[in-house]
């Protein structure tokens, strides 16, 4: 690796311009903004691939934000190129359909011939490998504030072409206290999380509320795509099995969480094709998956991706963990959501979703109204449970009528 200034980096990378290049970068809360800003500005046309991009980067008219999971920084961009893919399959795309010309990762400063990817491993090792295989450029934004994490996060300096020293504050996030409905839903799900289970909780207020209600459990394990401060709270309260590593693919949260992560041997960040592989998830004892959605229909099909045909997020890891959990010995897959969407002012339990399906065949659907058990029930029993226990009372009569029209009553 050769350390260069930002100006030298831009001069070097712009020699690669062949009409439209693809830059793959760390996403979520690890986006290397200081390095990306001048790089994106230097190209007239560029595809910029990052997962769950947050606001703050200037995406000029020549930048096509490309992603397999849409974040708020690209959600309403008219040039958005959404690539549908379950997160476990995204890494293979870099060696097949989405060849990177430049990979920009946000890392620690070097130690003993390595850097660490810190807060986000995710799809990045596969992007680096694909870049090395085709002679593309790998760039590290080296930040002394980035916590050193272990596992697949550690990258040999030989795999990096150019490094830029940047002292940039890390983006942080502190979840709000859950609202009343979310707290009720969290408590309902938590009742069914057994001691010694393995936990995955997705992103959002409801999964956060579930984690917050697990303080009286013991021997829990964490195998997840991501986690935030809730896992730190479980660790400090003695909930987690201290003989088992905490496994995730990326992290975001508070500065306190980042300090705890730094050189913590309890935590292992693994690449997405490991954390999200359904076959590996299925090997985790009592795998308990908690995710949320925008809609669930009477056939137990969940839409977590689109609103009125417009992409909102994407498959993410929901499909991977739903499938993996239902194949785990003693595993459970919970779909947890409010029965009524407060902004759209509509029921989230619908007769039939008219958007692409994100996941299906959950163990139970949980709302503030109750818990609808689905596993092992006939399709008519599933529909009846969803109407009776999960749907808002204001729409139950309408749902019964629609269930009849669908042959479910």
Catalytic residues: 225
* Of 179, 195, 264, 184, the residue nearest 227 (C-alpha): 264
Helix, strand, or coil here: 282?
A: coil
Give the whole-angstrom CA distance, residue 356 versus residue 363: 20
Instruction: Give a three-class secondary structure readout of 40-109.
Output: HHHCCCEEEECCCCCCCCCCCCCEEEEECCCCCCCCCCCCCEECCCCHHHHHHHCCCCCCCCEEEEEECC
For 7, the token pair is 């100006």
**Residue 158 CA: distances (Å) to CA of 97, 223, 353:** 25, 30, 49
343 CB contacts (<8 Å, ≥6 apart)?
none
For 86, the token pair is 């379950």
Give the whole-angstrom CA distance, residue 288 versus residue 197: 7
Q: Answer whether 129's CB lies under 8 Å from 96's CB.
A: no
Q: What is the CB neighbour count within 10 angstroms for residue 100?
A: 25
Q: What is the CB neighbour count within 10 angstroms for residue 274?
A: 19
Question: Look-up: residue for tokens 């969480």?
Answer: 257
DSSP code, position 252:
-
């Amino acid at each position: 690796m050769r350390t260069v200034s930002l100006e030298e980096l831009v001069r070097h990378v712009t020699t690669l311009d062949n009409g439209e290049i693809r830059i793959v970068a760390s996403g979520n809360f690890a986006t290397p903004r200081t390095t990306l800003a001048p790089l994106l500005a230097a190209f007239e046309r560029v595809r910029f691939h990052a997962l769950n991009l947050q606001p703050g980067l200037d995406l000029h008219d020549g930048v096509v934000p490309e992603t397999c999971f849409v974040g708020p920084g690209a959600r309403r961009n008219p040039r958005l190129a959404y690539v549908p893919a379950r997160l476990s399959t995204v890494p293979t795309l870099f060696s097949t359909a989405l060849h990177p010309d430049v990979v920009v990762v946000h890392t620690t400063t070097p130690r003993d011939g390595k850097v660490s990817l810190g807060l986000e491993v995710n799809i990045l090792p596969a992007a680096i490998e694909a870049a090395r295989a085709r002679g593309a450029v790998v760039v590290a934004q080296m930040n002394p504030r980035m916590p050193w994490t272990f596992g697949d996060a550690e990258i040999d300096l030989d795999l990096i072409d150019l490094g830029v020293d940047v002292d940039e504050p890390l983006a942080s996030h502190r979840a709000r206290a859950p609202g009343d409905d979310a707290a009720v839903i969290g408590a309902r799900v938590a009742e069914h999380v057994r001691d010694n289970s393995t936990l995955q909780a997705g992103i959002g207020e409801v999964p956060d509320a579930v984690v917050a209600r697990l303080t009286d459990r013991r021997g829990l394990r964490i195998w997840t795509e991501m986690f935030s401060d809730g896992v730190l709270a479980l660790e400090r309260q003695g909930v987690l099995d201290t003989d088992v590593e905490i496994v995730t693919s990326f992290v975001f949260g508070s500065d306190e969480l980042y300090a705890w992560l730094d050189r913590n041997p309890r935590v292992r960040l693994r690449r997405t094709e490991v954390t999200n592989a359904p076959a590996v998830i299925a090997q985790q004892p009592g795998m308990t998956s908690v995710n949320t959605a925008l809609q669930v229909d009477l056939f137990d099909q969940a839409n977590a991706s689109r609103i009125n045909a417009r992409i909102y997020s994407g498959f993410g890891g929901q499909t991977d963990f739903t499938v993996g959990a239902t194949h785990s010995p003693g595993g459970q897959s919970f779909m947890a959501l409010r029965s009524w969407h407060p902004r759209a002012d509509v029921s989230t339990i619908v007769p039939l979703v008219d958007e692409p399906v994100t996941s299906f065949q959950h163990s139970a659907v949980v709302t503030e109204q109750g818990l609808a058990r689905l596993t092992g029930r006939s399709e008519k029993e599933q529909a009846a449970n969803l109407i009776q226990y999960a749907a808002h009372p204001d729409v139950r009569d309408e749902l019964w009528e629609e269930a009849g029209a669908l042959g479910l009553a």
